Amino acid sequence: MTVNLPNLTDIERTGLEYAKDITERVVATFVVTACGVGVAAGPADMFHASFWETMAAAGLAAAGSLIKGVLARPFGTKNSASFVRGAWCGARRPVSRRRAFLVVTGIGWSLYGGLGIVGQPRYGTARGLADVIKYVPLDALGWMWVALGLVAALAGLVVNCPRMQALGFAALGVPAGLWAGAFAEGAATTYPSAVGSACGWGAFTVGVVLVSGMDDPLPPHLRKRGR
């Protein structure tokens, strides 16, 4: 009698694919929920929700997605967090550094807008943006950061869609470019101390443009083996 045991490499690969799948689902649920609550509580004016209430609602939705993914594994495909069998194609997808950059930086942009502008605005920020906030309230600018950051993070979760990635990089570049221009104008006129912020945000903007033009590395099986 022969007992066929699964290969350890296959088990590791299945576990890695499952971890990638459930992580992407949980992050996507968090980002989409935060976008929905932010739009409903902000521009749509359906109800009031603070930044932390928005993050808490998104966290609860993400926790629900995590629990569902864990419960689904015994019933669905082993390398998928879905209850539907065969939902995972089984092909290994290389990690996209461009998409990871969109997700990480987009979340950072949202936290900066929610915590650093809406929640605890600094005097230097308000002073450097004096010419801008004459026309647009600082809170509105903060929510702009939150919304565009979430757009970028959501674009980073979309697979095989260069147009969505281009939209995500534009969402990262617009607020950083606005900050760079506003601080540069303030440094040249009434607030010389803003020159450091102008340089920093200018470098951020250039960095976003550079990363947007980079290509993801080829999958391992298409790379040339070193001699």
Burial class (CB in 10 A: 0-12, 13-18, 19+), 182: buried
pLDDT per position as a tens digit, 39-78: 556 554 555 677 777 778 778 777 777 776 776 666 555 5
pLDDT per position as a tens digit, 40-51: 565 545 556 777
Per the CB < 8 A criterion, the answer to whether 109 and 149 are in contact is yes
pLDDT per position as a tens digit, 121-138: 888 888 888 888 889 999
Query: 3-state DSSP call for residue 221?
Result: helix
Per the CB < 8 A criterion, the answer to whether 80 and 13 are in contact is no
Q: Give the pLDDT of residue 91.
A: 45
Which structure tokens are listed for 44?
Answer: 């749509």
- Which residue bears the tokens 């470098």? 203
Instruction: Record the pTM.
Output: 0.63
Task: Give Cβ neighbours of residue 208 (< 8 Å, ≥ 6 apart).
Answer: 105, 169, 172, 173, 176
Q: How many CB atoms lie within 10 A of CB 140?
A: 14
Enumerate residue ranges in the chain where pLDDT < 50: 1, 3, 5, 8, 44, 87-91, 226-227
Report the interhelical angle of 162-188 vs 195-212 (nearest 10°): 160
Cα–chain center distance at 29: 12
d(C-alpha 212, C-alpha 137), whole Å: 30
